[in-house]
Amino acid sequence: MKLVNYRAGQEARAGVFIRGRVYDVAQVSGYEHVRSIDELLSAGKLEMLEERAGELSDGIDLEKVSLLPPVSWPDKILLAAVNYRAHGKEQGAPPPKEPYFFTKFRSCLIADGEPILIPSVSRKVDWEVELAFVIGKKGKYIGREAAMEHVAGYTVANDISFRDLQFPEGWPDRPNTLGQNWVKGKALDSALPLGPWLVTRSEVEDPQDLRLWLTVNGTRRQDGTTSDMVFGVDRLVEYLSDGITLLPGDVISTGTPSGVAVFSGAPFLKDGDIVEASVERVGRLRNPVMQERRQPRTL
């Protein structure tokens, strides 16, 4: 099942995407007040919805709605660093001995079709296609054998990075004693396109056997497979939950294959580019790139 957060007119809704059409989950008895995937997960109603999908009717063409990020209000957004052997190799980093994570904020989230902003403070805006998963059941100290029971489903992420902010001057020859600037280098506005939908766990037999790739203006920049991960989905859940309570709606992104601009020599993103990030059996995430004007704003 493919679940979407979407807007029809001015109202945000939760829907099921089937063969080009979006069906409002509020049509299903017992789901009349559900307005987002976030609410669906928090209420623990996902599995029941899959069983009662036959009640859905009166769909809307996908082109007539505006997609929102499949999770709008996650408590946590966590991303694994250097979790692909090929990505580590292209930057001269050995595989980590245990998972290593950084975080992003809700203000980073944008949906399929929304623009990736090039901020005035960065000229080296980079891409990273990733398989992300969303937590569906609360848990802490989760063993690997039970980890997948806590996964609601999968979506496509694009970990947008601002390399001239991420790496201190002179890096890596003159490392900063404080390390990389993870906040400014990874967490500016629009730095996490996510979507286009959430594919439930039952639709993906093996998350460690998926091809993923990324194009910029139609040119292939990344091409890899999740089998190259250093740590699989179950191990990431086990590691993170060791002291952290994972909540429904938390987003965990699993790392990227080789081919990012900063290490491959490809041009960084510029105004007018089109970026497409794809994961087999999950979906394609398409976003234009737009230069942001520097001007004070009161929101």
Pairing of β 219-225 and β 274-279: unpaired
| Number of Cβ atoms within 10 Å of the Cβ of 178 | 7
Least confident of 46-60, 72-86, 91-105, 108-122: 46-60
* 60 confidence band (pLDDT: 50, 70, 90): very high
Report the predicted TM-score, pTM, of the whole model to 2 decimal places: 0.95
Say if residue 263's pLDDT is above 90.
yes
Cα dihedral 91, 156, 223, 151 sign = positive
Run of H or E residues at 182: helix 182-186
Nearest to 85 by CA among 283, 240, 231, 215: 231
Q: What percent of the chain has pLDDT over 70?
A: 96
Instruction: Report which of 103, 66, 63, 97 is spatially closest to residue 82, judged by C-alpha positions.
Output: 97
Q: What is the mean pLDDT of residues 67-89?
A: 97
CA neighbours within 13 Å on the CB side: how many for 204? 27
**β-bridge mates for residue 184, sequence order:** none
Q: Give the residue with greater pLDDT, 110 vs 8.
A: 110
Topology (CATH level 3) of domain 77-291: Fumarylacetoacetate hydrolase; domain 2 (3.90.850)
| Euclidean distance between CA atoms 226 and 253, whole angstroms | 12
CA distances from 238 to 41, 99, 103 (A): 20, 10, 17
CA–CA dist 187, 162 (Å, integer): 9
For residue 29, report the phi and psi dihedrals to the nearest 5 degrees: -55, 130
Of all residues in the chain, the percent with pLDDT exceeding 90 is: 84
Q: Using CA atoms, how far apart are residues 57 and 36, in angstroms rounded to an integer?
A: 18
What would the pLDDT profile of 176-211 be if each residue is shown by its tens digit? Answer: 777 789 999 999 999 999 999 999 999 999 999 999
The residues with which 93 forms a beta bridge, in sequence order, are: none
In this predicted structure, what is the pLDDT of residue 178?
75
Q: How much is the pLDDT for 175?
A: 66
The alpha carbon torsion through 250, 251, 254, 257 (nearest 10 deg) reads -170
Q: Where are the domains of the chain?
A: 2-68, 77-291
| pLDDT beyond 80 at 297 | no
- Summarised one tens digit per residue, pLDDT across range 234-248 is 999 999 999 999 999
pLDDT at 12 over 90: yes
pLDDT, tens digit, 9 for 90 and up, residues 136-178: 999 999 999 999 999 999 999 999 999 999 987 766 666 677 7
With 60 as the cut, is the pLDDT of residue 299 above it?
Answer: no
pLDDT at 9: 84
pLDDT at residue 101 greater than cutoff 80: yes
- Cβ atoms of residues 251 and 43 within 8 Å: no
Q: Mean pLDDT over all residues of the chain?
A: 94
**Spatial distance between the Cα atoms of 146 and 238, rounded to a whole number of angstroms:** 9
User: What is the predicted pLDDT for the residue at 259?
Assistant: 97
Say if strands 109-110 and 192-200 run parallel, antiparallel, or are unpaired: parallel
Amino acid at site 189 = D
